[in-house]
Amino acid sequence: MYRPSEDTYFMEDILATYRGNIALEVGIGSGYLTRLLCSNFEFVVGTDIDVNSIMYAKNNTLANISNKLLVCSDLSLPLKCKFDLIINNPPYLPKDLDNFDDTTVYGGKKGIELTIRFLRSIQLQLSEMGKVVIMRSTLSDYRKMDDFIDKSFLNNKIIAKKTFFFESLEILELSGVKNSFTI
């Protein structure tokens, strides 16, 4: 289970400004960001592939919150509804797949494979005016990710950036799924 860290708190500051009817967090970890969404949205769905994360969030972080549904699933594949906001703080560090130790921080060989898989999976779940907010690291192959995003979304922008001595973290906002979205 991914516990709140610097990147979580960075994303929290940005997400505090978003409001709407229904939101989705894919990969809830401890449920920290899901709790924030529950304060700003009428209803929130949170998913995680790790049943321990779902149980922890249900029994601890989100125990007294009623406007949520937690689902143990791979990404958001079983969901068939539209969301005003979809967020993901994915594992974004590059790692050789032969030595793929911690799936909570390593997002594939180039650090973007899981994020691209996530972006492909949510294309039918984003409402017409909906937005996607994701985190990425400059240690990943972010240029290749930019190519994918440019081909897949009408609008994309970096809405926040935080630089550390070894990397920068960027939060992106995406909207407007293109008809030619590549699955």
What are the tens digits of pLDDT across the range 90-106? 876 667 645 556 666 65
**Domain annotation covers residue 182:** no
Q: Can you give the pLDDT at residue 21? A: 98
Q: Can you give the pLDDT at residue 26? A: 95
Q: Can you give the pLDDT at residue 100? A: 55
**Domain annotation covers residue 183:** no
| Residues 113 and 121: beta-carbon distance below 8 Å | no
- Show the domain range for 167: 6-177
Tokens of 100: 């793929």
Q: Can you give the pLDDT at residue 109? A: 76
Q: Can you give the pLDDT at residue 66? A: 95
Alpha-carbon distance of 106 to 140, in angstroms, equals 10
CATH code, domain with 74 = 3.40.50.150
Whether the CA torsion 24, 147, 16, 32 is positive or negative: it is: positive
**Domain annotation covers residue 1:** no
**Domain annotation covers residue 69:** yes
**Domain annotation covers residue 23:** yes
Number of folded domains that form the chain: 1
Q: Can you give the pLDDT at residue 82? A: 96
Q: Can you give the pLDDT at residue 101? A: 63
Which residues fall within 8 angstroms of residue 174, CB to CB, at 6 or more apart?
119, 131, 132, 133, 134, 149, 153, 155, 156
Q: Can you give the pLDDT at residue 95? A: 77
Q: Can you give the pLDDT at residue 140? A: 86
Residue in the block written with tokens 């899981």: 114
pTM for this entry = 0.90
**Domain annotation covers residue 94:** yes
pLDDT along the chain (183 residues), means of 10: 85 96 96 97 96 96 95 93 95 61 65 87 93 92 92 96 90 88 51
3-state secondary structure string, the chain? CCCCCHHHHHHHHHHCCCCEEEEEEECCCCCHHHHHHHHHEEEEEEEECCHHHHHHHHHCCCCCCCCEEEEECCCCCCCCCCEEEEEECCCCECCCHHHCCCCCCECCCCCCHHHHHHHHHCCCCEEEEEEEEEEEECCCCHHHHHHHHHHHEEEEEEEEEEECCCCEEEEEEEEEECCCCCC
CA 42 to chain centroid = 19
Q: Can you give the pLDDT at residue 178? A: 87
**Domain annotation covers residue 164:** yes
Alpha-carbon distance of 18 to 55, in angstroms, equals 26
**Domain annotation covers residue 157:** yes
Alpha-carbon distance of 24 to 85, in angstroms, equals 6
What are the tens digits of pLDDT across the range 109-139? 777 888 898 999 998 999 999 999 999 988 8
